[in-house]
Amino acid sequence: MTAAPPKIARGCNPSQPSMAFCASLHTLQLLLPHDLRNSLPLSQSSPYLSSGLCVSRRGTYKAPARKHSAMVRASAQTADAAPAEADMKRGPASSAFPLLQLTFLEGNSWLWNVLGVQMLVDPVLVGNLDFGIPWLYDASKKTLKEFKLEDLPELDLLLITQNFDDHCHERTLRPLSKMFPDLQVISTPNAEPILSKLFSKVIYLEPGHSTLFRSNASEIVIRASAGPTLGPPWQRPENGYFVEVKEPKFSLYYEPHCVFNRSMMRHERADVVITPVVKQVLPLYTLVSGQRDAMDLVKLLQARFVVPLQNGDLDSKGFLSKLVSKVGTVEDFRELLQEDLSYVQVLEAKPGMPLDVPVAS
């Protein structure tokens, strides 16, 4: 069966330069031609795939009974309705579901439970993170070393912020696409060359564009914002996302580099901000911002909660890993908040442990 072409939001241009010259770890991938990057050897077919997977005639993924890790709680319901364009429907919500539950999977990877809607974000869950240059950089998780794709609950959405390996990890996405062939994906258009080969239901959002997910409990709007430009200045920026729940009303903002347009953020609001607070720098170049920039972001969005993203806390090796240094700590960030944002609560997410955010308080 031929997969339907991926959906592109109006105004999107899925083309992408094949080379770029930049100092960050992300853009080191771009130093290779695009075809060569895609032909780099990946791990063999994942041993995590279950032989009992099946797809019903309606195309809804049905997994066999499986034991879920205590670290990641499975949803009690599955998404039976296929999405139509950007308008997706989900089954009835249960009062047992938390309003907002965040599970940190290390690196940039998250599992969000938003009113029972399970969102997997920037997953790197199979093998190490090496950007296709393991002789220069190779990183593994510190805590969730035994985490497997089978430990995930039934998924409703996959959210991709950037097209680089630490966000759009093909070694993870390939087996994930076989486990969940009808998974709805929302992504930056920059990741189209990778995602179009794996998923048939992809919505590419330019900054400022949004899509709607409807459940019986509420409506969830996912809206893209402009993140960093990782490459030449004419390249499209990567994405951040606002996740906005209409009833009960609350919102979350996520961007994994703490890069944002201050003038645009003055008009935005979010109850919860997930952002790096510890800077990661190369000589003469900032890879990931944080500290006062993170405080400014929280202040602009008038957030009540901030969840520090510790995406640099990995076991890494290789020449490039020795060039990256950290500036500041989570405790330093807490002290900065005390200056004039003492009402903001800092909630630390421990790897694999669900964090319930009290957005209803």
Give me 22's structure tokens: 């930049």
Please check whether residue 68 lies inside any domain of the structure.
Answer: no
Identify whether 72 is part of a domain: no
Q: Which amino acid is at 289?
A: S
Query: pLDDT, tens digit, for every residue of 189-235?
Result: 999 999 999 999 999 999 999 999 987 667 899 999 999 988 788 78
Cβ 316 vs Cβ 305: under 8 Å: no
CATH for 326: 3.60.15.10
Tell me the residue range of the domain where 115 lies.
23-33+78-348
Per the domain annotation, does 223 fall within a domain?
Answer: yes
Classify residue 42: in a domain, yes or no: no
Looking at the 3D structure of the chain, how many domains does it have? 1
Residue that is written with structure tokens 């063999």 in the block:
44
Q: What confidence category does residue 13 fall into, taking pLDDT thresholds of 50, 70 and 90?
A: very low
In a domain? residue 344: yes
Q: Long-range contacts: 265-268, Cβ < 8 Å, 24+?
A: 265/297, 265/300, 265/301, 266/300, 268/225, 268/242, 268/300, 268/301
- Taking the model in full, what pTM does it have? 0.75
**52 in a domain, yes or no?**
no
What's residue 296's pLDDT? 95
Please check whether residue 15 lies inside any domain of the structure: no
Q: What is the C-alpha separation between 24 and 228, in angstroms, rounded?
A: 11
- Kind plus residue range of the DSSP H or E element containing 287: strand 285-288
DSSP assignment string, 75-96: PS----SPPBTTEEE-----TT
Contact 2, 297 (CB under 8 A): no
pLDDT digits (tens, 9 = 90+) for 159-186: 999 998 889 999 999 999 999 999 999 9
In a domain, 247, yes or no: yes
Mean pLDDT to the nearest integer, 92-113: 83
**Does residue 338 surpass a pLDDT of 60?**
yes
